[in-house]
Structures are given as structure tokens and as C-alpha cells.
């Protein structure tokens, strides 16, 4: 599949997208002889996916990875659904931060920074590539180096890593697949970002059968507008933290949060206008905000979580991202779009 084919699919009316998605779901189900499951986060995308799958196959289980990093409303909603199997990671988020490091900027940049923060004789070429973009062939690859803007983070007084998602979500899911033989439907979309689009194109579409990690992404060619329209058209219940679905400027929006995911993740926060996710959290979930931004301590020259909190406020200060609503600039009614 190429980018033009993807754009053509994304431009289709929703009713045709639903039909294509149903066909992809059937293909996956029949290929694995019903040994499938829905990877269910409790967010709006996976809520739509679960609804479509269960319209065709009511007995397909949903699997929720209970990291305790979700918005409490999302977790409550996910666990309230029928036939939901709950997984638990072996490490807490605090333990992951201590061992591997904080998730900042993006998965790719965090991975690159982690690699140069942990140099060895074996990864000397990788370290050079991440710092300069010069491959072993002598060719330059800007995609392979740390952005100039974030080069200073190699010397940050805290560890940086992209590995939290692997530990907290992927490993428990991989264990579930290995123990049950079931293969996943996942609610990701190419429209979620450049990396997701590249992955979708490289995989050749929704269903990836021949892979070390087979998966079906039957909503891969949907857009955010499709998700909101489907929720609205079908009057589906969803997590309360999204607020209401209404139209503004010709587009459907949620009056609460737009995306959920892990509450304490810092990926992409530097790109958000104020109030960003942490400033909003201070108003909407003050206890969670206090725990994640407060605390922290220096141990052997590195900033790590403490008994009082995760110390994320220190990290956000270091990368120049505001995280407080000190002056009361955004009252609750603004944060929920009233």
C-alpha cells in the first residue's frame, strides 16, 4: 500500500469504512479460527473497535492491561464492560522510571537518547549515528540522529527511555498471546501520527499475518472524525473524561480530554498549547497531578522518583514545559470546553 491508496481510503464515507473494517475483522477471525481478542484500552478508539467486533462475534474477549496509568474514568469504564480480561504488568511505573528512565519528547528521540546515555564498546557506531547522523557507510541520515534541539538531553541529570510501554503493556500482552494462542485486534490508526502511518504503509494495510507479532488494525484507515461520528451515530457509552461530543468549527470535538493514554507520559507534551495535559490535570485530577509532578530526589547524580512522588515536575522544568496553573488562568469550565 502507498500513501495515495491510504488517502483514498481515509476519504471514503464512514458507511463504506465500516463495511471494509467488518471484512478485515472477518478475515482475521477466520484465519485464526476464532482465536482472537480485542486489545482494549478503554479509550474511544478501542471502544469503537470492540463494538464493531462484537456486532460480528459477540464472544470475542477484550483484554485490558491494568497499568494504573490510565485516567481513572477510563479504567473504570474499561473494567465495567462485559467479558474483559485484566492483565497486570510485573513492574510499577515508578520502578520502570527508576530502572529505565523517563519518557520524554517522543519514542524515537527517547530511544536515541537512551542509547547514548548507555554507551558500550558494542554500540559505539550507534552512539556516533545518534549524535551525528553519519552511518557506517559515511552517508548522512537526519532521521537517525537526535534532533539538534534535544542534543543537550544526553547530559541530563536523569535517565531517558522509551521502554515504559514495552514493560507496562507489550510484555503482558505478549505473555497473554503466548499462553492463549489468541491474536489481537488493535484500535490504532494511521492518522494517529507519522510513525503510525509509516507502520501502516509498511505493513501493507490492516491485517499483518506474517510477522513475529501478528496483529489486525481494522480501523487503520479511519480518522478521528470517523471515531467521533461512530460514537455519536450509535449512541455508544464511553469514558466520562472525554466529556461531550459536539461540533465546533465544522468538526466534531470532545469537550473533555481529546486523547487519554497514560496520564503521566510526557511524549509530545512540548508540542501542546497551554493548557497542556499536565496543567489540565492539575484542575481535573489534582491528586494524580500532585503525585506525578511532586517528589523526586537525586541519587548518585541522577534524578529519580521518591516516596513523595514521581518527580515529573523537575523533568518538565528541564525541558522547558510549563506544568502548573499557578495563576488560575484556566478555570474548570474552560478545561472541559463549557
pLDDT at 332 over 80: no
β-bridge partners, 37: 184
C-alpha cell at 116: 547514548
Say how far apart CA 4 and CA 321 lie, in whole Å.
36
Q: What is the mean pLDDT of residues 66-86?
A: 96
Cβ–Cβ under 8 Å, residues 29 and 209:
no
Cβ–Cβ under 8 Å, residues 28 and 218:
yes
Among the listed residues 332, 242, 240, the one whose alpha carbon sits nearest the alpha carbon of residue 283:
332
Question: Residue 85 contacts by C-beta under 8 Å, 6 or more apart in sequence?
Answer: 37, 61, 62, 63, 64, 176
pTM, full prediction: 0.90
Question: Residue 240 contacts by C-beta under 8 Å, 6 or more apart in sequence?
Answer: 73, 77, 256
> Which DSSP string do the residues of 81-107 spell out, in sequence order?
STTEEEE--SS-HHHHHHHT-B-EE-H
CATH no. of 3-91+165-239: 3.40.50.620
What element of type H or E holds 19?
helix 14-31
Grouping H, G, I as helix, E, B as strand and the rest as coil, residue 301 is: coil
What Rg value do the Cα atoms of the chain yield, rounded?
21
Q: What is the pLDDT of residue 269?
A: 96
pLDDT tens readout for residues 260-288:
889 999 999 999 999 899 999 999 999 99
Q: What is the mean pLDDT of residues 15-19?
A: 98
Cβ–Cβ under 8 Å, residues 210 and 183:
no
pLDDT at 334 over 70: no
Please state the domain extents for the chain. Answer: 3-91+165-239, 104-155, 266-335
Question: Residue 280 contacts by C-beta under 8 Å, 6 or more apart in sequence?
Answer: 257, 330, 335
Amino acid at each position: 500500500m502507498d500513501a495515495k491508496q491510504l488517502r483514498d481510503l481515509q476519504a471514503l464515507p464512514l458507511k463504506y469504512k465500516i463495511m471494509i473494517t467488518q471484512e478485515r475483522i472477518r478475515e482475521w477471525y477466520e484465519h485464526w479460527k476464532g482465536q482472537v481478542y480485542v486489545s482494549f484500552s478503554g479509550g474511544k478508539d478501542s471502544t469503537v473497535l470492540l463494538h464493531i467486533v462484537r456486532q460480528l462475534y459477540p464472544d470475542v474477549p477484550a483484554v485490558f492491561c491494568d497499568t494504573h496509568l490510565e485516567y481513572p474514568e477510563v479504567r473504570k469504564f474499561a473494567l465495567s464492560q462485559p467479558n474483559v480480561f485484566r492483565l497486570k504488568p510485573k513492574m510499577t511505573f515508578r520502578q520502570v522510571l527508576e530502572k529505565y528512565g523517563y519518557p520524554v519528547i517522543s519514542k524515537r528521540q527517547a530511544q536515541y537518547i537512551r542509547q547514548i546515555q548507555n554507551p558500550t564498546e558494542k554500540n559505539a557506531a550507534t552512539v556516533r549515528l545518534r549524535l551525528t547522523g553519519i552511518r557506517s557507510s559515511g552517508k548522512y541520515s537526519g532521521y537517525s540522529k537526535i534532533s539538534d534541539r534535544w542534543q543537550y538531553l544526553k547530559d541530563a541529570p536523569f535517565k531517558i527511555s522509551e521502554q515504559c510501554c514495552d514493560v507496562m503493556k507489550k510484555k503482558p500482552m505478549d505473555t497473554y498471546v503466548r499462553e492463549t494462542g489468541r491474536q489481537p485486534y488493535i484500535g490504532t490508526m494511521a492518522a494517529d501520527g507519522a510513525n503510525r502511518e509509516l507502520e501502516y504503509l509498511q505493513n501493507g494495510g490492516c491485517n499483518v499475518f506474517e510477522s513475529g507479532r501478528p496483529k489486525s488494525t481494522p480501523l487503520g484507515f479511519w480518522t478521528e472524525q470517523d471515531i467521533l461520528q461512530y460514537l455519536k451515530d450509535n449512541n455508544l457509552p464511553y469514558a466520562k473524561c472525554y466529556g461531550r461530543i459536539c461540533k465546533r468549527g465544522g468538526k466534531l470535538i470532545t469537550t473533555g480530554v481529546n486523547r487519554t493514554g497514560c496520564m503521566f507520559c510526557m511524549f509530545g507534551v512540548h508540542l501542546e498549547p497551554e493548557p497542556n495535559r499536565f496543567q489540565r490535570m492539575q484542575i481535573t485530577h489534582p491528586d494524580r497531578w500532585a503525585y506525578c509532578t511532586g517528589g523526586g530526589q537525586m541519587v548518585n547524580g541522577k534524578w529519580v522518583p521518591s516516596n513523595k512522588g514521581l518527580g515529573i515536575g523537575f523533568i518538565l522544568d528541564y525541558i522547558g514545559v510549563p506544568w502548573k496553573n499557578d495563576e488560575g488562568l484556566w478555570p474548570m469550565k474552560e478545561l472541559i470546553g463549557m
